Amino acid sequence: MGMIEKVMEEFRTRFGSEGDIRGYFAPGRVNLIGEHTDYNGGHVFPCALDMGHYAVARKRNDRKIRWFCTTFPDSGVQEADIGDLAPNDNGLWYDYQQGVLWAFEQNGYQIPYGYDMVMAGDMPAGAGLSASASIEMIAAIILKDLIEVPISQVDCARMGQYSENKYNGMNCGIMDQFASAMGKKDCAIFLDTATLKYDYVPLNLAHEKIVITNSNVKHSLAGSAYNDRRRDSENALEELQTVIDIKTLGDLDEKTFEDKKGVITDPVCRKRARHAVYENLRTIAAVDYLKNGDLKAFGKLMHDSHVSLRDDYEVSCKELDILSEEAWKIPGVIGSRMTGGGFGGCTVSIVENDAVEEFKKKISAVYGEKTGLKADFYIADASDGAGRIL
């Protein structure tokens, strides 16, 4: 029995089998390169994963919502009225769903009916693979399809970002929600976050695999560290805007930044800006390399990305550094870097097919020896974005 069938069975047990019951999937994402650039007006290059959240839902004839998640059975069935939802920063799974409903109404989308829902996930929470965005897009796609709210997939992503910013207190960019909503099988998304112009780039990896390595160090981004990085970047931008006409750090090329960076008075903010500028340029170059089949050059930029995230943006941690640095030593590893917000979570590596098992074996051994932790591995398959599947 597949995941969606199991969720359907749970739904019928809890809420009954009558009526129009529908099934949905919203993926997580992995970002190949372009980290902490999405809220700095730069480019990102994620792909949707074949891991995420499954949900089964049925429309109600009132404005109540009743939700159950098999991943957190102890929390029981959550019930609320759509009109009573209010922002909080509890970070509980259902807060990410409630935030989306709140965001829809805050932005003028009327939700005339609530729904009953059961949800289950097959991805690790707190691993930096955007479980929260997947949960948000489940809510958005149910509103779009089941409740028939007239909204595009791109605007579903906007609502997810708005809700996480305003309801959950996490000042994230739009990359995670966009990747979950707009993913395409066997492709990554080259997204300009300043304009939301995007291009699907085929992942023509005939002899390589994308391997995600989970450090099993849980990150907690809704706290101060992530929002501090965004504030540092905004402070740097404000000082740069006193001497140059730009809207975002993503507007800068290397020469202009180097010429003008002295106006940034705080050395920490200057480091944050340097990462945002150079990471954006790396991402643009990396996509060109991939299109031209130059994986070696792409891998070198993954390496440089990790170093910048470690040293300039300071969002890595000892465990992520070990995973990346040990990967760089292994023959057949084309590139490896931390992925996601940081402070824990995962690395992403491009590994030649013949080297995948050796990669897992060596990383497992060294990582366990150095940290006492177990690393988990997933082969990333790029999937379609959020939608109805049953």
Residue 222 has what pLDDT? Answer: 43
pLDDT band at 261 (very low <50, low <70, confident <90, very high): very high
27's tokens = 């993926």
Q: Could you tell me the CA-to-CA distances from 383 to 25, 48, 132, 210 in Å, in that order?
A: 11, 5, 17, 13
For 337-374, b/e burial (b = at least 16 CB within 10 A) is: bbbbbbbbbbbbbbbbeebbeebbebbeebbeeebeee
pTM to 2 decimal places = 0.96
Q: In what order do the strands lie in the sheet with 346-352?
A: 333-339, 346-352, 208-214, 376-379
pLDDT in tens, 135-155: 999 999 999 999 999 999 999
176 is catalytic: yes
Other CB atoms within a 10 A radius of the CB of residue 308 amount to 23
Tell whether the torsion through CA atoms of 255, 259, 265 and 266 is positive or negative: positive
Residue 223 has what pLDDT? Answer: 59
In angstroms, the CA 209 to CA 138 distance is: 28
The domains located in the chain, with CATH, are: 3-201 (3.30.230.10)
Residue 91 has what pLDDT? Answer: 83
Q: Could you tell me the CA-to-CA distances from 162 to 31, 104, 171, 234, 346 in Å, in that order?
A: 20, 9, 9, 18, 25
Q: Return the ∠ at Cα 290 (arms to 124 and 226), rounded to 5°.
A: 40
User: Which residue is it, tokens 């907690």?
Assistant: 220
Catalytic, out of 38, 116, 176, 251: 176
pLDDT band at 44 (very low <50, low <70, confident <90, very high): very high
Percentage of the chain beyond pLDDT 90 is 93
Specify the amino acid at residue 220: S
Residue 128 has what pLDDT? Answer: 85
Work out the widest C-alpha separation in the chain, in whole angstroms. Answer: 67
Strands 333-339, 346-352: pairing kind = antiparallel
